[in-house]
Amino acid sequence: MNTSDISSRAGDSAAITRVALTRWQAVENDLVVGCGDVSTRPDGRLFVSIDAWHDAVFEQLTAAMLPTLRRPLHTVVDENDADLLSRWARAGFATRRREWEYLIPTDPAGTGLHAVLPPPDITIVPAGRAAAEPLRALDRVIRDEVEAAVGWQEMPAEILGGYDGDTIVDRSKYVAAAQADRYVGLLRVVQVTRLPRIGLIAVRAGQQRRGIARAMLAHTLSTLHHRGIATASAEVNESNAAATALFDGIGAQRVNSNLELVLR
């Protein structure tokens, strides 16, 4: 039997098994033809993903998984993947929000950030040099401020978590903005394969609109440029006007968009 024979009949008699607390598999003729996974983000949102060869297998997995999971239930899909979007729509999911994916040049001559300096009372602390406890304190304050405003669920989907809810898992990834004896802003950059990703830029509510975020971004991109890295990436909620203006204003290119879908 060749691969096309297997593909043409996949899903006709697949057996769905819950192989772990958060994982399901579809097996046919001793071949795994689909799998589904569930994860809980530190903000409490439940995300599901399904990878299946055929519509029939996808539908079998959703039929087995969804009744066992609490609502609301979320997933993230590339907006250009029409087939996958259609599958989730048939399962009852609807679009909740869009995130733009940007490619960002790191060369200060290209971004126009070569002359950007922080406000006189602000010092940019390079990645890995921020003190752990003040950084964690700032993270908690910013999360409380965001939750009281738009809600943390509007922040990027990739939110890291550690023990006891600690979201500063690796401080070597964080640039900070210091004012006297406290931090008022942070930026997280994660190396994803060869393309660094700006995962989060946040400034305390009372310190916004002073150019602090722009200064942290200028420092970060310049550092990457001096390491020989020409491009970084970022994802921004399309409703975040300040962030989209920041990236659009430095010549970042929108290359893709992801949709967060929800089943209520």
Q: Which residue has the higher pLDDT, 41 or 193?
A: 41
Q: Helix axis angle, 241-248 relative to 212-226, nearest 10°?
A: 40
pLDDT tens for residues 116-156? 999 999 999 999 999 999 999 999 999 899 888 766 666 65
The whole-number pLDDT of residue 104 equals 97
Is it the case that residue 103 has pLDDT exceeding 50? yes
Q: What is the pTM of this model?
A: 0.80
Query: How many CB atoms are closer than 10 A to CB 1?
Result: 7
* Residue 204 identity (one-letter amino acid): R
pLDDT tens for residues 162-204? 445 556 768 899 999 999 989 999 999 987 667 999 988 999 9
Among 12-21, 99-108, 161-170, 224-233, whose mean pLDDT is lowest? 161-170
Question: What burial class does residue 168 get, using C-beta atoms within 10 Å of its C-beta: 0-12 exposed, 13-18 middle, 19+ buried?
Answer: buried
Query: How many CB atoms are closer than 10 A to CB 196?
Result: 23
The pairing of beta strand 123-125 with beta strand 31-40: unpaired
Identical fold for domains 3-98 and 101-257, yes or no, is: yes
The whole-number pLDDT of residue 131 equals 95
Percent share of the chain, pLDDT over 90: 77
Is it the case that residue 6 has pLDDT exceeding 60? no
- Tell me the pLDDT of the chain averaged across its residues: 89
Among 99-108, 142-151, 153-162, 241-250, whose mean pLDDT is lowest? 153-162
Q: Report whether 56 contacts 12 (CB < 8 A).
A: yes
pLDDT tens for residues 205-244? 999 999 999 999 999 999 999 999 999 999 999 988 989 9
Q: Where are the domains of the chain?
A: 3-98, 101-257
The whole-number pLDDT of residue 151 equals 65
CATH topology (fold) of 101-257: Aminopeptidase (3.40.630)
Phi-psi region of 193 (alpha: psi -120 to 50; beta: other; left: phi over 0): left
Question: Hunting for tokens 């989209």 — which residue is that?
Answer: 244
Cα dihedral sign for 105, 111, 117, 118?
A: negative
Contacts of residue 220, defined as CB under 8 A and 6 or more positions apart, other chains included, come to 127, 175, 187, 189, 198, 232
Query: How many CB atoms are closer than 10 A to CB 194?
Result: 7
The whole-number pLDDT of residue 8 equals 37
Nearest Cα neighbor of 53 from 88, 1, 11 is: 11
Q: Which residue has the higher pLDDT, 34 or 154?
A: 34
Domain 3-98 matching CATH 1.10.3720.10: the answer reads: no
